[in-house]
């Protein structure tokens, strides 16, 4: 059993893994993945870490030492084994050193070959029936030949050659392999040479390796080493999705400070009801997720990605899959920091059902299918403009399209009504809730329920409604109902474009270019406005860290601090009236980003409630609600919002204008001392003075450009050795002498 303990701002995050299991840590660049690998390696001797920075220079003519020395060179960086691995193997820079050990890999494989050959010769002399055992090179060759059947490894005594399938050229040295091929050989060798019961830790396992064989290679390596634990450190969501049996962890941030190294990470849940590869992509996205119908290469997904840029658009097939995914994700608290929504085709759904789905954050298109959006007047005219037609010609071609759509709709009215009737019957059948407890009651209940579904009445009503829209010339309503994929061919003809596919190509080519902005805007107007449910946090970068107030304290679910800095500059630039002039931290243009804490609120707290509580805390009000002021002044407390900050959907913070004209260390010290003197006079509550505020900020790791000079000035003006002494001197009354 391997026990890994990762320090976080909320304590030790413990991970246990048995031999044969796989772990995967997924995080973006800068999230501390390599540092995490270094920390794990430093705490355990039975760890073999393969760094992301690795040299792939291969020498097949190395002279191997004995097997034990070869393995020690590979694992520890020197022949004696154990000892200072960070110094020998990583040159005292374990997170960034270039790992140049390909020679050790080759030497280790040769040494194993020699060792096994000698042992087999001795066994064969005693018993000629003993079969030769497979060496690590034999196993490497077997996996290699399966992965790269056109590049056969030829193992020779003291050399390795490559034979190209079908080539008349002579074999060539393995040192001449491509970067990708050398990376495969290197990774196979590293994994096969690892000692049993080892945690094999691979940083960036996807580096240099062709994606078409990447998953197959690691599958084969894991299968060959059931006696080890494999742990991957990667930012590659696609690779992470291939590790279907791995326990996965998302790394959100990292910092190294006075508290030591800390990571913010969470386990990616399994058994969510959502496919594992989808879950991995969700966690890796760090944006709200929009589940849609279709597949990744479809026109509708390309349109959604152009319109909903603040979402990770994730196509997952049918409308039922979309509805199920949204419901499943809502049940997983791990995902609440992201938020999700769904978008499905209208499919003739009744308004009542559409509103019911909307309440569950699943939205329906206003048209039968997404391609019909391009037939609506404004998007069609934008397409006409892209085809270099002027407004008059565009209008003429739009009228031509309308007439042709009406003509097709007229001839297809009965076909449409039949198809729509089938959908309505299917929807009605799905809504039947059978609750009977015996077969007779079930049969009766079923007959009663299905008797209420009248196909003839549904068909007649739909046909009549459709024909009425045609007679009235209600083009948009026809486009909303009519699910004929051939309509896009008609639109292409009206624009003088060769075919439906060419029209789709034009749309896809231009949507994400400057020329296509107007087209995207026109399409966006026809799509629903979608706001996902998001996790809410409060950004604390001053006294709020330790003093959130009773109201906020009750609804804080957790605190995040690792690697979090304010996204704006901060300084002690406001003299607070409620603190008798004490300098406080506020956003400024000339300042410094400082360490902060995100107070993540409980799921039930709404955005309005969060804003109200934060505003009341900052204004010291017991009642009242936050109202966004039309014309804020110098004393207005503004509540602002940051979207998707450190994986939290919406993070609130307060901003109030600076009011200290000359922000200098001397001036700040004078104000802080003045507020401390107000405490001893009984004019200010103890602990709310400026010196205490500064001390608490320093203890929380907050340091602005002026912090050091500000502190030094206080100590100089008060003649004290530290801030605690200054606080005691200025705020605690001297004991009165007892009378004789």
Q: pLDDT, tens digit, for every residue of 477-488?
A: 999 999 888 999
Which of 151-155, 403-407, 467-471, 473-477 shows the lowest per-residue confidence on average (mean pLDDT)? Answer: 151-155
Topology of domain 283-365 in CATH is Rossmann fold (3.40.50)
What does the pLDDT average to over 328-351?
Answer: 78
Sign of CA dihedral 284, 289, 295, 296: negative
pLDDT of residue 382: 94
Q: Where are the domains of the chain?
A: 2-79+93-252+261-267, 283-365, 536-731
Q: What is the pLDDT of residue 736?
A: 63
Give the whole-angstrom CA distance, residue 740 versus residue 737.
Answer: 9
Percent of the chain with pLDDT over 90: 50
Q: Is 143 exposed, middle or buried (0-12, 13-18, 19+ CB in 10 A)?
A: buried
CA dist 555 and 95 (Å) reads 39
- pLDDT value at residue 221: 95
Cβ contact 366:516 at 8 Å: no
Comparing C-alpha atoms, which of 285, 90, 79, 103 is closest to residue 201?
A: 90
State both tokens at 89: 């193997």
C-alpha closest to that of 372 among 483, 287, 463: 483
Q: Measure the CA–CA gap between 459 and 413, rounded to whole angstroms.
A: 11
Predicted pLDDT of residue 167: 61
Supply φ then ψ for residue 346, to 5 degrees.
Answer: -65, -45
Domains 2-79+93-252+261-267 and 283-365 share a fold: yes
| pLDDT given at position 99 | 79
Q: Provide the token pair at 144.
A: 């290699």
Question: What is the structure's pLDDT at 173?
Answer: 77
The per-residue DSSP string of 406-422 comes to HHHHHHTHHHHHHHHHH
Count Cβ atoms below 10 Å from residue 581 Cβ, excluding itself: 19
238 token code pair: 């696609």
Torsional sign, CA 631, 634, 637, 640: positive
Enumerate the β-bridge partners of residue 601: 556
Look up the pTM and report it: 0.67
Compute the distance between CA of residue 115 and CA of residue 118 in angstroms, rounded to an integer. Answer: 5
Indicate the pLDDT class of residue 141, thresholds 50, 70 and 90: very high
d(CA 704, CA 690) in angstroms, rounded, equals 15
**Contact criterion met (CB below 8 Å) for 571 and 658:** yes
Q: Which of 44, 29, 51 has its CA nearest to residue 102?
A: 51
- Within 8 A by CB and 6+ apart from 341, the residues are 288, 289, 290, 291, 311, 326, 361, 362, 363, 530, 531, 532
* Distance from C-alpha of 298 to C-alpha of 643, rounded to nearest angstrom: 29
Q: Could you give the CA distance from residue 555 to residue 607 in angstroms, rounded to a whole number? A: 13
CA-to-CA dists, residue 410 to 285, 347, 423, angstroms: 46, 19, 20
What does each C-alpha distance from 429 to 352, 417, 449, 450, 453 come to in angstroms? 16, 18, 9, 8, 8
User: 737: pLDDT confidence band, cut at 50, 70 and 90?
Assistant: low
**Predicted local confidence at residue 336, as pLDDT:** 57
- In 3-state terms, what secondary structure has residue 592? strand
Q: Which of 350-354, 592-596, 660-664 has the lowest mean pLDDT?
A: 350-354
CA–CA gap between residue 453 and residue 709 (Å, rounded)? 80
Distance CA 396, CA 50 (A): 66
Query: What is the arithmetic mean of pLDDT over 283-294?
Result: 81
Statement: 2-79+93-252+261-267 belongs to CATH 3.40.50.300 = yes
The H or E element spanning position 254 is: strand 247-257
pLDDT tops 90 at residue 380: yes
Q: What angle do helix axes 413-430 and 455-471 make, rounded to 10 degrees?
A: 140
Q: How confident is the model at residue 456 (pLDDT cuts 50, 70, 90)?
A: very high
Taking only the tens place, the pLDDT of each residue in 166-204 is 665 667 777 778 888 889 999 999 999 999 999 999 999
* Dist CA 152 CA 155 (whole Å): 10
pLDDT for residue 119 is more than 90:
no
Residue 236 CA to residue 288 CA, distance in Å, equals: 19
Lowest mean per-residue pLDDT among 82-91, 114-123, 274-283, 697-706? 274-283
Average pLDDT, the chain: 88
- Bigger pLDDT: 571 or 73? 571
- Is the per-residue pLDDT at 249 higher than 80? yes
């Amino acid at each position: 059993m391997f026990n890994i303990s990762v320090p976080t701002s909320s304590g030790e995050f413990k991970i246990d893994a048995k031999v044969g299991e796989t772990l995967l840590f997924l995080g973006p660049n800068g999230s501390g993945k390599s540092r995490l690998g270094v920390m794990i390696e430093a705490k355990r001797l039975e760890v073999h870490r393969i760094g992301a920075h690795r040299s792939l220079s291969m020498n097949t003519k190395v002279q191997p030492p004995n097997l034990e020395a070869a393995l020690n060179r590979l694992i520890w960086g020197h022949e004696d084994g154990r000892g200072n691995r960070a110094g020998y193997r990583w040159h005292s820079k374990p997170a960034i050193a270039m790992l140049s050990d390909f020679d050790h890999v080759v030497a280790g494989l040769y040494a194993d070959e020699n060792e096994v050959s000698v042992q087999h010769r001795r066994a064969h002399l005693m018993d000629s029936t003993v079969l030769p055992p497979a060496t690590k090179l034999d196993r490497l060759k077997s996996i290699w030949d399966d992965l790269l059947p056109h590049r056969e490894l030829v193992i020779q005594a003291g050399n390795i050659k490559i034979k190209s399938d079908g080539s008349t050229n002579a074999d060539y040295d393995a040192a001449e392999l491509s970067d990708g091929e050398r990376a495969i050989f290197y990774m196979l060798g590293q994994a096969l040479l690892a000692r049993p019961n080892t945690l094999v830790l691979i940083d960036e396992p996807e580096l240099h390796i062709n994606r078409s064989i990447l998953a197959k290679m690691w599958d084969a390596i894991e299968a060959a080493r059931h006696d080890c634990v494999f742990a991957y450190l990667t930012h590659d969501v696609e690779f992470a999705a291939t590790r279907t049996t791995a326990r996965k962890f998302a790394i959100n941030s990292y910092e190294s400070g006075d508290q030591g190294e800390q990571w913010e990470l969470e386990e990616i849940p399994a058994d969510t009801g959502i496919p594992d590869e989808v879950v991995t992509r969700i966690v890796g996205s760090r944006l709200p997720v929009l589940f849609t119908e279709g597949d990744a290469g479809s026109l509708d997904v390309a349109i959604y990605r152009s319109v909903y840029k603040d979402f990770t658009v994730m196509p997952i097939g049918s409308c039922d899959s979309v509805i199920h995914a949204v419901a499943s994700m809502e049940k997983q608290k791990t995902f609440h920091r992201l938020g999700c929504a769904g978008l499905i085709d209208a499919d003739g759904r009744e308004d009542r059902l559409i509103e019911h789905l909307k309440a569950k954050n699943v939205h329906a298109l206003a048209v039968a299918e997404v391609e019909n959006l391009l037939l609506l007047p404004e998007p069609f005219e934008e397409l006409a403009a892209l085809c270099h037609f002027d407004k008059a010609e565009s209008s003429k071609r739009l009228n031509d399209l309308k007439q042709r759509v009406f003509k097709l709709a007229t001839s297809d009215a009965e076909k449409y009504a039949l198809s729509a009737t089938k959908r309505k019957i299917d929807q009605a059948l799905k809504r039947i809730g059978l609750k009977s407890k015996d077969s007779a009651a079930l049969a009766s209940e079923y007959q009663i329920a299905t008797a209420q579904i009248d196909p003839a009445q549904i068909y007649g009503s739909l046909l009549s409604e459709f024909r009425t829209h045609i007679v009235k010339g209600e083009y948009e309503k026809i486009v909303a109902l009519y699910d004929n994929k051939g309509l896009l061919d008609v639109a292409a003809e009206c624009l003088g474009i060769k075919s439906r596919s060419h029209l789709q190509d034009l749309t896809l080519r231009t949507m994400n270019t400057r020329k296509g902005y107007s087209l995207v805007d026109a399409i966006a107007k026809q799509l629903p406005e979608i706001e996902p449910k998001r996790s809410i946090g409060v950004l604390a970068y001053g006294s709020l860290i330790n003093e959130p107030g009773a109201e906020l304290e009750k609804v804080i679910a957790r605190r995040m601090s690792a690697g979090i800095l304010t996204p704006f500059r901060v300084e002690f630039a406001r003299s607070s009236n409620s603190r008798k002039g004490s300098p406080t931290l506020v956003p400024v243009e000339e300042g410094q980003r400082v360490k902060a804490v995100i107070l993540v609120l409980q799921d039930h707290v709404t955005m309005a409630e969060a804003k109200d509580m934060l505003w009341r805390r900052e204004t010291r009000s017991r009642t009242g609600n936050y109202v966004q002021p039309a014309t804020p002044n110098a004393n207005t407390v503004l509540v602002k919002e940051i979207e998707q900050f450190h994986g939290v959907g919406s993070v609130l913070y307060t901003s109030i204008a600076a009011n200290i004209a000359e922000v200098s260390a001397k001036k700040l010290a004078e104000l802080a001392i003045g507020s401390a003197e107000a405490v001893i006079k009984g004019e200010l509550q103890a602990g709310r003075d400026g010196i205490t505020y500064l001390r608490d900020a320093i203890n929380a790791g907050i340091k602005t450009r002026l912090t050091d000079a500000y502190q030094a000035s206080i100590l100089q003006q008060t003649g004290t050795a530290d801030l605690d002494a200054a606080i005691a001197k200025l705020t605690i009354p001297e004991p009165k002498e007892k009378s004789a």
